[in-house]
Amino acid sequence: MELSAKQIAHLLNGVVEGDDSVKVNNLAKIQEANSSSISFLSNPKYENYAYTTKAAVLIVNKTFTPKSKINATLVRVDDAYTSFSVLLEEYHKIISFIKEGIEQPCFLSPDSSLGNRCYVGAFAYIGNKCIIGDNVKIYPHVYIGDNVTIGNNTIIYAGVKIYSNTQIGKHCTIQAGAVIGSDGFGFAPQPDGTYKSIPQIGNVVIGNHVDIGSNTVIDCATMGSTIIHDGVKLDNLIQIAHNVEIGKNTVIAAQTGISGSTSIGENCMIAGQVGIVGHISIANNTKIGAQSGVSKSLTKPGMSLSGSPAYELTAHLKSLTVFKKLPQLQKRIEELEEKMLHLQSL
Amino acid sequence: MELSAKQIAHLLNGVVEGDDSVKVNNLAKIQEANSSSISFLSNPKYENYAYTTKAAVLIVNKTFTPKSKINATLVRVDDAYTSFSVLLEEYHKIISFIKEGIEQPCFLSPDSSLGNRCYVGAFAYIGNKCIIGDNVKIYPHVYIGDNVTIGNNTIIYAGVKIYSNTQIGKHCTIQAGAVIGSDGFGFAPQPDGTYKSIPQIGNVVIGNHVDIGSNTVIDCATMGSTIIHDGVKLDNLIQIAHNVEIGKNTVIAAQTGISGSTSIGENCMIAGQVGIVGHISIANNTKIGAQSGVSKSLTKPGMSLSGSPAYELTAHLKSLTVFKKLPQLQKRIEELEEKMLHLQSL
Amino acid sequence: MELSAKQIAHLLNGVVEGDDSVKVNNLAKIQEANSSSISFLSNPKYENYAYTTKAAVLIVNKTFTPKSKINATLVRVDDAYTSFSVLLEEYHKIISFIKEGIEQPCFLSPDSSLGNRCYVGAFAYIGNKCIIGDNVKIYPHVYIGDNVTIGNNTIIYAGVKIYSNTQIGKHCTIQAGAVIGSDGFGFAPQPDGTYKSIPQIGNVVIGNHVDIGSNTVIDCATMGSTIIHDGVKLDNLIQIAHNVEIGKNTVIAAQTGISGSTSIGENCMIAGQVGIVGHISIANNTKIGAQSGVSKSLTKPGMSLSGSPAYELTAHLKSLTVFKKLPQLQKRIEELEEKMLHLQSL
């Protein structure tokens, strides 16, 4: 996708200074730009780059007065930083939704329906009785089982696997290799030491504006649904077990694991590599530090925790400070004991 | 798959009360049922749902006397809970094995053999000299290298990658995105600071009744075999390194990692996010708590451990209790020191 | 691939003793060999296996004098262990690069180019404007987006997903299911409690001789590049966030996670399940113990750390030793307090 300096100035309500026919096809930092880049100068401490940048087009503030010659075509705007952000978002939106049409070979069950402006990449598989909304982008090697529904404007990147009966909302983004709806881990011990699988016949229900990271796994419910509510953001390599429920706008960082039947509140922030045991509830607005292990329900909203097992953050940090001094503490106890022995012998 | 109330009653050796022609196509909890559901009432505390449920068919105990009108067709049995469990298992078995035949396009090497009643999904790939047993279900996007054998009644879900020379037993289930037989992580440091890969030419051997979770990885052996014995259950996102051996009926929860050449005994229970170092042995019936780090061999069977590094569970819990009180302990030591100073000055 | 004893002796500059026409097709440990195996005897403590091994060919030292009859054809060399290692490496190299040609169906954009002696497996997908070097092996179900470059002699195993604009060097190996270039995890909180995705438009740049494990994820940069330098070795299920940079010859074990914009030095060794926070720098030659949590920059090269939060290794080990004795320490403090009380009461 190429845009001319003139088109960009029009988009940003700016004024061109220089060759308005020059074309760009990528956005870059001023110090990393190439001859097809558009970049920006906002912070004065980067001004020197303006005179050496290879960028073809540079967005600058209207008030900017160059101290020497600039090769790039300038686009002058009220606020260069904001204008560049707008451009970045527009650009990202366009490249995210640019793919359209059906590549061959792919596998589309005839009793499934596709909305308008969809993309179905080669080797994608869509099973029976699926309903795919408008402007949904399904990349190559995506597997979609039977009876799956996907809302408008959702993007599913390469190699995502979606088991049968999953429901996915609108405006979701699912990164490559994520697995949604696989069988939960439930086994009943038998008298002979073996385990019998507990049948997993539920599904996964995902709301709107949910983002799911690469190679993250969300298991289906034993019965009923594993539920990911609107606005939840999941990073890469996360494990969400069967019958978990995650409240609205909760954000979870990479490699965290949530065990079966646990319910997480709304607007929680859970850092990376956290483990949360099964069958507990976490209140709204809870913050959990990296590598913590949460073993009990949290009923009070807004707490911050860390540690394994996790408890109140500041208390945990205080214990950690003393932990580092444990060898000295031990020595001080020994000294006290010696002195005590001496005093007692007097 | 649809069943009538009459067919269900026949299957469960029960008696129909109401319209025996009504049909259901899903199983659900009594409070979540829809008009195509069959549900059950066993625990009296759920009785009120019986009068409001949308379920078309309700399994109840023979002794149950409704207090008001029930819309659902009843199927009366000796034990509603057990009957529903039987139904659940049958249903799960049927939907798991319902797929049959070969979807096109797929890639089947002509010198590999497929048993009876197999399913091979579109875009599945089966390399040279593979032997696939009866009733094996291979979902779309599964990759099977060369010289792989898979026993009867094994299900391999979408996108599983199985490297050459892997052997998989009967009645196994492998969830989406799992990788079996990839190269182990072995590198010999060179004098110039680089690393040279140690060739990995072994394979993976998996027994019968083994379950493997989504996006779990099992590396091949350097030479010989990485071995997963009968009845082992592995959750999602687990790492099993080269030359590991896991004993019969051991169960491992999500995101646990086992380093190279370690041997795990039989009937162990290993919780989530555990790390186990390489080249050690874990005795039978060992229980390891979540997020533990096991750094030494365990020769005594039946121990429970936790912590990183892990040691005996109750001792670790006692230390954790004191850890929380470390700031107070430090203060008590300071007070003792002050008092001691005071006493000494007398 | 089959070789005769004669061919092997020629390759290893050795002398055949026995039938030089016997053929082998696999390498195995002496105690695990079958009738198509070649094996070796170097360590005298394995000598007894020489008289019972099923191996067709056995590499032995020139100085070796059997005490009884050996069925295998012998190949006598100066150093049996080294010769076997050479054979192992040659064998591994051959089987790794044996695949050649383009299997159908696959998806190759006509404006992408493939070098000589490449393999493209069935169901592989190569997008627009990609440049694939010589002798590159692309296994089935690999997805390669647009504008991707891959250097000579790189192997990409089944199901790897490579997003657009990724650059991969020469002699790399990427194991199955790895994801390279997915969107980083960046969200700006909005006043209404929701999060807005920060556009991720950068890419991933991978040097030469880099190995990447199964189901590992490397996110693209927000702008600019996530960079993995020459000789880096990444194990399975690792998370590398946006804008991370990893220095030359650094080795990282399984399930470790590195947060956004962190820079790791050269020749570091990072064990498994480590977490490293974002926006910090780790100096060259740093060693980080398993399950550690690194929360601060390390400016001094060559340190060893462990713990969560991580600090200097030996200090941490000392604290851990005392941690185990915390219940006794608490008791000793109590005893001191009692004695103190008693002394004060005198």
Residue A135 pLDDT: 97
In chain B, residues 242-271 whose CB comes closer than 8 Å to chain A = 248-249, 251, 253-255, 266-267
3-state secondary structure at position C324: helix
In chain C, residues 267-306 whose CB comes closer than 8 Å to chain A = 273, 275, 277, 291, 293, 295
Q: Which of C36, C95, C123 to mutate to test the interface with B (most CBs of B within 10 A)?
A: C123
Interchain contact A29–C (C-beta under 8 A):
yes
Which residues of chain C have a CB within 8 Å of the CB of A340? 336, 339-340, 343
Interchain contact A193–C (C-beta under 8 A):
no
The whole-angstrom distance between B157's CA and the closest CA on chain A is 9
Residue B184's contacts (CB-CB under 8 Å, 6 or more residues apart) are: B198, B200, B219, B220, B221, B222, B226, B241, B242, B243, B260
Q: Under an 8 A CB cutoff, do C175 and B183 touch?
A: yes
Q: How far is residue C346's CA from residue C334's CA, in Å, rounded to a whole number?
A: 19
Residue C294's contacts (CB-CB under 8 Å, 6 or more residues apart) are: C274, C275, C276, C277, C280, C282, C288, C305, C309, C310
- Do B161 and B125 touch, CB atoms closer than 8 A? no
Strands (DSSP E) contained in A72-121 are: 73-77, 101-102, 107-108, 113-114, 119-120
Region C133-162: what's the mean pLDDT?
98
Find chains touching chain A: ≥3 CB pairs under 8 Å: B, C
Q: Under an 8 A CB cutoff, do A329 and C332 touch?
A: no
Token pair in block for residue B337: 């020191």
Which residues of chain B have a CB within 8 Å of the CB of A293? 273, 290-291
| % of chain C residues with pLDDT over 90 | 88
- Do C127 and C148 touch, CB atoms closer than 8 A? yes
In chain C, residues 59-78 whose CB comes closer than 8 Å to chain A = none
Which residues of chain B have a CB within 8 Å of the CB of C139? 143
The owner of tokens 């020749």 is C267
Q: Which of B236, B250, B287, B336 to mutate to test the interface with A (most CBs of A within 10 A)?
A: B236
Q: How far is residue C328's CA from residue A326's CA, in Å, rounded to a whole number?
A: 13
Q: How far is residue A196's CA from residue A194's CA, in Å, rounded to a whole number?
A: 7
The whole-angstrom distance between B241's CA and the closest CA on chain A is 18
Q: How far is residue A52's CA from residue C18's CA, in Å, rounded to a whole number?
A: 74
Give me the residue from A92, A215, A251 closest to C179, CB to CB.
A215
Q: Is B242 a catalytic residue?
A: yes
Catalytic residue among C141, C209, C242, C316: C242
- C231-247 in b/e form (b: 16+ CB < 10 A) is bbbbbbbbbbbbbbbbb
- Do B211 and B229 touch, CB atoms closer than 8 A? no
| % of chain B residues with pLDDT over 90 | 88
The whole-angstrom distance between A218's CA and the closest CA on chain B is 9
Q: Under an 8 A CB cutoff, do B195 and C249 touch?
A: yes
Whether domain B3-97 has CATH 3.10.105.10: the reply is no
Q: How far is residue B122's CA from residue A124's CA, in Å, rounded to a whole number?
A: 9
Which residues of chain A have a CB within 8 Å of the CB of C237? 215, 237
- According to CATH, the superfamily of the domain at C160-309 is Hexapeptide repeat proteins (2.160.10.10)
Residue C10 pLDDT: 92
3-state secondary structure at position C278: coil
CA distances from A231 to A133, A248, B43, C46, C187 (A): 19, 6, 37, 62, 11
How confident is residue B338, by pLDDT bands cut at 50, 70 and 90? very high
Residue B123 pLDDT: 98
- Best CA proximity match to C138, nearest among C128, C123, C124, C152: C124
Token pair in block for residue B339: 């008092």
Region A55-74: what's the mean pLDDT?
95
Is residue B96 pLDDT above 90, yes or no? no
Residue C108 pLDDT: 97
For B241-280, write each residue's pLDDT tens digit: 999 999 999 999 999 999 999 999 999 999 999 999 999 9
Which of these ranges, A228-237, A278-287, B95-104, B212-221, has the smallest mean pLDDT?
A: B95-104
**Rg of chain C, C-alpha, whole Å:** 28
Q: Under an 8 A CB cutoff, do A197 and B213 touch?
A: no
Is residue C269 pLDDT above 90, yes or no? yes
Whether domain A102-317 has CATH 2.160.10.10: the reply is yes
Q: How far is residue B200's CA from residue A193's CA, in Å, rounded to a whole number?
A: 34
DSSP string over C7-66: HHHHHHT-EEES-TT-EE-EE--TTT--TTEEEEE-SGGGHHHHTT---SEEEEETT---
Interchain contact C241–A (C-beta under 8 A):
yes
Residue B346 pLDDT: 76
| % of chain A residues with pLDDT over 70 | 100
Beta strand B113-114 pairing with A155-156: unpaired
Catalytic residue among B209, B229, B242, B316: B242
Residue A336 pLDDT: 96
Residue B345 pLDDT: 84
Residue B324 pLDDT: 97
3-state secondary structure at position A191: coil
3-state secondary structure at position B27: strand
ipTM comes to 0.93
Region C4-22: what's the mean pLDDT?
94
- Do A220 and A200 touch, CB atoms closer than 8 A? yes
Q: What is the DSSP letter of A319?
A: H
- B256-270 in b/e form (b: 16+ CB < 10 A) is bbbbbbbbbbbbbbb
Q: At C84, which helix (H) or strand (E)?
A: helix C80-97
- Do B282 and B301 touch, CB atoms closer than 8 A? no
For A31-51, write each residue's pLDDT tens digit: 989 999 999 999 999 999 999
- Do C206 and C185 touch, CB atoms closer than 8 A? no
Q: How far is residue C337's CA from residue A309's CA, in Å, rounded to a whole number?
A: 29
Interchain contact B51–C (C-beta under 8 A):
no
Q: How far is residue A139's CA from residue A176's CA, in Å, rounded to a whole number?
A: 9
| CA nearest to C160 within chain B | B161
Amino acid occupying residue B21? S
Cis, bond preceding A309 (omega within 30 deg of 0):
yes
Which of these ranges, B85-94, B293-302, C120-129, C306-315, has the smallest mean pLDDT?
A: B85-94
Residue B182's contacts (CB-CB under 8 Å, 6 or more residues apart) are: B161, B163, B217, B218, B219, B220, C157, C175, C176, C213, C214, C236
**Phi and psi dihedrals of B18, rounded to 5?**
115, -160
Cis, bond preceding C66 (omega within 30 deg of 0):
no
Residue B154 pLDDT: 98
Residue B339 pLDDT: 94
Is residue C100 pLDDT above 90, yes or no? yes
For C308-327, write each residue's pLDDT tens digit: 999 999 999 999 999 999 99
Residue B284 pLDDT: 98
Token pair in block for residue B263: 């041997």
For C119-132, write each residue's pLDDT tens digit: 999 999 999 999 99
From first CA to last CA, the distance across chain B in angstroms is 91
Q: Which long-range contacts (CB under 8 A, 24 or more apart) does A81-88 make?
A: A81/A40, A81/A42, A81/A43, A83/A12, A83/A14, A83/A40, A83/A59, A84/A27, A84/A39, A84/A40, A84/A42, A84/A59, A86/A12, A87/A8, A87/A11, A87/A12, A87/A27, A87/A38, A87/A59, A88/A27, A88/C199, A88/C201
**Phi and psi dihedrals of C181, rounded to 5?**
100, 10
Q: Under an 8 A CB cutoff, do A291 and C308 touch?
A: yes
- Best CA proximity match to C136, nearest among C167, C100, C103, C160: C100
Q: Under an 8 A CB cutoff, do A326 and C340 touch?
A: no
**Rg of chain A, C-alpha, whole Å:** 28
Is residue C168 pLDDT above 80, yes or no? yes
How confident is residue C94, by pLDDT bands cut at 50, 70 and 90? confident
The whole-angstrom distance between B253's CA and the closest CA on chain C is 14
For C216-233, write each residue's pLDDT tens digit: 999 999 999 999 999 999
Interchain contact C343–B (C-beta under 8 A):
yes
Q: Which of A40, A216, A273, A321 to mutate to test the interface with C (most CBs of C within 10 A)?
A: A273
Residue C346 pLDDT: 77
Is residue B94 pLDDT above 80, yes or no? yes
Find chains touching chain C: ≥3 CB pairs under 8 Å: A, B
Cis, bond preceding C309 (omega within 30 deg of 0):
yes
User: Residue A127, Cβ neighbours under 10 Å: how many?
Assistant: 23
Interchain contact C15–A (C-beta under 8 A):
no
* Summary mean pLDDT of chain C: 96
3-state secondary structure at position C136: coil
Give me the residue from A159, A275, A322 closest to B326, CB to CB.
A322
Q: How far is residue A268's CA from residue B308's CA, in Å, rounded to a whole number?
A: 27
CATH top-level class of B101-317: mainly beta
In chain C, residues 91-150 whose CB comes closer than 8 Å to chain A = 105, 107, 123, 125, 141, 143, 145
Each domain of chain B, given as residue ranges in start order, spans 3-97, 101-317
- Do C174 and C160 touch, CB atoms closer than 8 A? yes
User: Residue A155, Cβ neighbours under 10 Å: how many?
Assistant: 21
Q: Report angle CA B276, B279, B280 to the nearest 5 degrees.
A: 65
- Best CA proximity match to C54, nearest among C76, C75, C64, C39: C39
Catalytic center residues of A: 242
Region A65-72: what's the mean pLDDT?
94
Interchain contact B236–C (C-beta under 8 A):
no
Residue A260 pLDDT: 97
3-state secondary structure at position A7: helix
Amino acid occupying residue A298? L
Region A63-80: what's the mean pLDDT?
94
Residue B317's contacts (CB-CB under 8 Å, 6 or more residues apart) are: B306
Mind spelling out the 3-state secondary structure of A200-253?
Answer: CCCEEEECCCCEECCCCEEECCCCCEEEECCCCEECCCCEECCCCEECCCCEEC
From first CA to last CA, the distance across chain C in angstroms is 91
Region A146-159: what's the mean pLDDT?
98
Q: Under an 8 A CB cutoff, do A254 and C185 touch?
A: yes
3-state secondary structure at position A44: helix
**Rg of chain B, C-alpha, whole Å:** 28
Which residues of chain A have a CB within 8 Å of the CB of C143? 139-141, 158-159, 176
